[in-house]
Amino acid sequence: MKVYGGRRGLASLLLALSTGVAAVGYGALSITPAEAAVTPAPFSSVVPAVAVSTPTSGVTYGIGAATTIYTEPGSTAAASVGGYLAGLLRPSTGYPLPVTDASGSSPSDGISLLLSGAPSSAGNEGYQMDVTANAIIIRANRPAGLFAGVQTLRQLLPAAAESTTAQPGPWPVAGGRIVDYPRFAYRGAMLDVARHFFPVSTVERYIDEIALYKINHLHLHLSDDQGWRIAVNSWPNLAVHGGSTAVGGGAGGYYTQADYRQIVDYAASRHITIVPEIDMPGHTNAALASYAELNCNGVAPPLYTGTDVGFSSLCTSKELTYTFIDQVVGELAALTPGPYVHIGGDETQSTQPADYAAFVNRVQQIVAAHGKTVVGWHDIVNATPLPSTVAQFWGTTSRNAAVTSAAQRGTKIIMSPANLTYLDMKYNSRTTLGQNWAAYIDVKNAYGWNPGAYLSGVGESSVLGVEAPLWTETLQTLTDLEYMAFPRLPAIAELGWSPYSTHDWKAFGQRLGAQGPRWHVMGLNYYRSTQVTWPAGS
């Protein structure tokens, strides 16, 4: 027998007793015996794995027509999370799900999103969720924690909750308590919009998809040899000319500054920080083609649509180069509320090591002068990193003496080993998209490592977090992006969020398989890895 909730719980109980079938409260409405057969998803089905969970056997809350979403009094941020939750669930449930102020007290029914009463262990992004027969209460110390709790709640609902059209329900949530918080502060995904350009709508869709797995940073690779993708008012030809093509010679494209602000704001509404990257001094042919004066010889090269690397470089000896960087970074920093600007710094075979070090050292000061923290590919440790500079490790081995030395001097590291996290790597030799220069990476490989103990001499305290880059030399559409990112991105997300004590491939494979029906409803074009058992409806 279930525990009965909602204002008509007694009526549901009487119905159950008279029919001999267990009933459950659904937002103050009883449900039919057929509906009652729906089994709530267990806490153990959530990706990333939650830190601590205590299920309450036999207790279920059902979202119903009378369910109200209550939010922290006076908090527009909490109200925004409530509106987001209502916007997700109204189309599929058909319920009104009004969002209202909790008026200073913890309501005894409905769904509450409160910024009080969470344990200190939840930190800034964690939450506590309590599910009883009458209510769901999510408590957090900050709005980001409420948003994370909502992502867990989504996964505890039937996959049909993700539908954009009304479904029959019911909408049960298993009873108990979850206390959850992230392992690492930085949990990122990277999208390369330079090799192929993707419109704002595609980026927003990708933001929605990664938000479900508690990713909190989206790194946008905005410039490369093949394309410059952000309008810069002081150097307009970067976008107009440098952004006019792509790998293979197709039409390029670029974001206006209004477009970029839209992406930044959309990401912020999902508690995701945009990390813009302008790669330098290499990977700069699009800029060099746009302005002849950026070249040491004063001659602009042609636009490039191939996939080679390491052949281009800004002229590190020209003072104009640093004026250019100052103006570009200044405009980008003004558009970016997040703390980071990524300066690239990888694959600089055309720049002499001494020139490279001097260049990176000077560019770090420029970025800092605009109030931003430098992130760069781990090659930048060959210069002299500022105390605040973050190095992003992309190597394919577990040893790198220069990175280890930098970490031991205090440099924080984002872990993105290419042979484990690069989402553009083929799953196997039969994969038609992607590349294989780093490795073939199926989901078990993506999951089967420990970011806090992977790189020799770099302990967990030196690791800021993890990031899953998605390079797009061979990817041109949203369905291409989805196919390469899923199911591997949730694996990387779990490494970033969940305590390593929860790390278990067998359990993860089961939880990951449970995402299949959800992705099917979402219309997400994922790869059905044979390493995972996908249930009916996937």
Q: Which pair of tokens denotes residue 377?
A: 């590919």
How far out from the chain centre does Cα 523 lie? 18
Catalytic residues: 347
Is there a contact between 308 and 195 (Cβ–Cβ < 8 Å)?
Answer: no
* Token pair of 176 as six digits: 């108990």
DSSP state of 501: G
Judged by DSSP in three states, 473 sits in coil
Picking from 338, 389, 339, the residue whose alpha carbon sits closest to that of residue 363 is: 389
Vertex 439 angle, CA 451 and 216, to 5°: 40
- DSSP-derived 3-state class of residue 402: helix
Number of H helices, E strands in the chain: 17, 17
310: left (phi over 0), alpha (psi -120 to 50) or beta: left
The CA distance from 158 to 37, in Å, is 12
Radius of gyration over every alpha carbon of the chain, rounded to an integer in angstroms: 25
Instruction: Report the distance separating Cα 201 and Cα 176, nearest Å.
Output: 38
| CA–CA separation, 212 and 538 (whole Å) | 17
